[in-house]
Structure 1
């Protein structure tokens, strides 16, 4: 479920519970077998891929805690948590891959956060009187 394409169209990333619990896999768009990318946590879903294909983020869960985690492919298959986790979900990369946007639950309400791809800077975005889910970035526009 939840398939996403790489920007070059050569790879598909998806969630599957074929191993018993939801995990992230990748497969060539031209066919062939799938490779499992996540091994930690009992729940990994909603993969998102940076435009250059070098970074993958997912919602990663253990028990009742769900956080955003990132794999920088240049550093191997190690996943790094980017959010403190409680009920964090639906990560999406900024067009330049420097940040991610994600939805979270805090105090019984839905909120939006941005976090830098290195996890050092996290910021709550003000949303008034709305429930937020599955955020998305607009297209990147260069200054003129």
Structure 2
């Protein structure tokens, strides 16, 4: 997402040729893109119609394929399941930001998280059996995992600084995340059970939003 034209729009960049293409031309928010597992489509948040943020699927020329949510609430942060059949997203339709899962074909939605007043940034495990997310308790965000049937909620981080933006390694063994425990935001890695935390960025400034290469496993 870039504000280079004054509006938050989604772009796609060819890393080999250095060319970029604007995918979204809609007024309002065009944010939080996530690729489909087959690389053919993108799910993202748009707010071009009524000002509310809703979840849409677009193809790679920017054409809208379908609108997945349409309600008064703000629906944001979509994340595609590994099998391509479901979307996890964040919505305040229950009064506070919580994580929901939608079956795309049936448009069937169910609430996944019930504990905590603010849960965000859902990330599917490679097997599709768990979701990592950032949950706020006592004004501090920590990383949690939960089974996709709603069972097995587990807190992974226990630090005074905020811990956000979880990202699974391709083999499912590790989770990378952003933490401000040292003052500035840095990238950390831990095992998927929360053990063996370690920082991997040390430079000046803030480092956020880690994302794994599909061809590189951390060991």
TM-score, normalisation: structure 1: 0.90
Query: In 2, are the aligned partners of 1:10 and 1:30 still within 8 Å (CA)?
Result: yes
**Aligned equivalents of 1:73, 1:140: Cα separation in 2:** 26
Comparing both chains, which one has the higher relative contact order based on Cα–Cα distances under 8 Å and sequence gaps of 6 or more?
1
Partner of 2:140: 65
Listed as ranges, the gaps of 5+ residues in structure 1 are none
Instruction: Tell me which stretches of 4 or more aligned residues in structure 1 moved more than 6 Å.
Output: none
- The Cα shift of 1:73 comes to 4.6
- The Cα shift of 1:141 comes to 4.4
TM-score, normalisation: structure 2: 0.60
Partner of 1:95: 170
Q: How many residue pairs were aligned?
A: 141
Aligned CA RMSD, in angstroms, stands at 1.7
Listed as ranges, the gaps of 5+ residues in structure 2 are 1-75
- The Cα shift of 1:126 comes to 3.2
Of residues 196, 205, 211 in structure 2, which corresponds to 1:121?
196
- The Cα shift of 1:107 comes to 3.7
User: Alignment partner of 2:185: what SS?
Assistant: strand
**Aligned equivalents of 1:126, 1:28: Cα separation in 2:** 37
Query: In 1, are the aligned partners of 2:201 and 2:207 still within 8 Å (CA)?
Result: no
Partner of 2:28: none
Q: Rg larger in 1 or in 2?
A: 2
Partner of 2:113: 38
Give the alignment of 1:4-43 within 5 angstroms: 4-43=79-118
Change (3 A) 1:107 1:117: closer
